[in-house]
Structure 1
Amino acid sequence: MYGNKGIQAYKKDSLRSDLASADPHRVIQLLMQGVLERLAISKGFIERKDMESKSSTLTRTVEIINALRDSLEYDANPELVENLDSLYLYMIDRIHQASAEMRVEPLDEVMSLMLQIKGAWDQISDIDKQQAYAQES
């Protein structure tokens, strides 16, 4: 049997491989998926009162959300981007609250919000993606 470390190493290598060949749209999808996965893991740490693991996982989650914020392009649609940035900041606040209070409910709220954003992102058509890439060049 491989054990947990082997599985984690495989996942990390698989993610690196996926990121290396990913277009910008796919990178954002992977970041959003990473947030969702870490939130789910963090809920377990909170329920088990594993403070150290909860803290490191939620810190990484906030880092990923900040990477999503950094990827926002204000030229594309300033109003939408401003709303997304505010929503990401709200998510970060809720994560900090969940961490400080050792409560999973704020994480459930963040997961729901991220699922909505990711759902909309996943609906972007290939034609729209190609048009966006053409505007960047």
Structure 2
Amino acid sequence: MNPMRALRQYQKVNSHAQVSEASPHRLIQMLMEGGLERLAQAKGAMARGDIPQKGLLLTKAIDIITGLRQGLDETKAEDPATIQRLAALYDYMNVRLLKANASNDPEIIDEVARLLITVKEGWDAIAPQ
């Protein structure tokens, strides 16, 4: 058996196990981590000139950010305006990633990564005890 294939299979099984056991709070953290990972990988693909891979990875990052946005529920929030601002930030991130893809601009990927890191740091700080 190919060792790389075995490793990928293990990682897939391991990540499925993590997801099935994760709290809703942890699932959001995992989505944010996955988004940051895809952004870093897309930037690497961009640097290598691997345009198809860059497009695929940026699309995955956009899908993750879209999922985070769709998970927002202002009806359950103490301050619905905060949720609306976060939704607008996620929308902005996706617009910027589309621009990064079209213009091959790694600085835009860095901008979105910084924004997502800031949101993740806030989310991590409210971890359930």
TM-score w.r.t. structure 2 length?
0.91
> In 1, distance between residues paired with 2:65 and 2:127?
23
Question: What's 1:27 paired with?
Answer: 27
Q: Deviations over 1:11-63 (max 9, x none)?
A: 22222111101111011000000000000000001111111111111111111
**Which amino acid is 1:110 matched to?**
V
- Runs of 4+ with >4 A deviation: none
- Are the aligned partners of 2:96 and 2:108 in contact in 1 as well (CA < 8 Å)? yes
Question: What's 1:131 paired with?
Answer: none
Q: After the TM superposition, which residues 54-93 of structure 1 pair with which residues of structure 2 at under 5 Å, given as runs?
A: 54-75=54-75, 76=77, 77-93=79-95
Instruction: Tell me the CA shift for residue 126 of structure 1.
Output: 2.2
TM-score w.r.t. structure 1 length?
0.86
Count of aligned residue pairs for this structure pair: 126
The CA RMSD over aligned residues, in Å, is: 1.4
**Which amino acid is 1:18 matched to?**
Q
SS at match of 1:72: coil
SS at match of 1:13: helix
CA 1:96 to 1:124, structure 2 compared with 1: closer, same or farther past 3 Å? same
Question: What's 2:113 paired with?
Answer: 111
Instruction: Tell me the CA shift for residue 84 of structure 1.
Output: 0.5
Structure 1 unpaired stretches of 5+: 128-137
Instruction: Tell me the CA shift for residue 10 of structure 1.
Output: 2.6
SS at match of 2:74: coil
**Which amino acid is 2:98 matched to?**
H
Q: After the TM superposition, which residues 39-54 of structure 1 pair with which residues of structure 2 at under 5 Å, given as runs?
A: 39-54=39-54
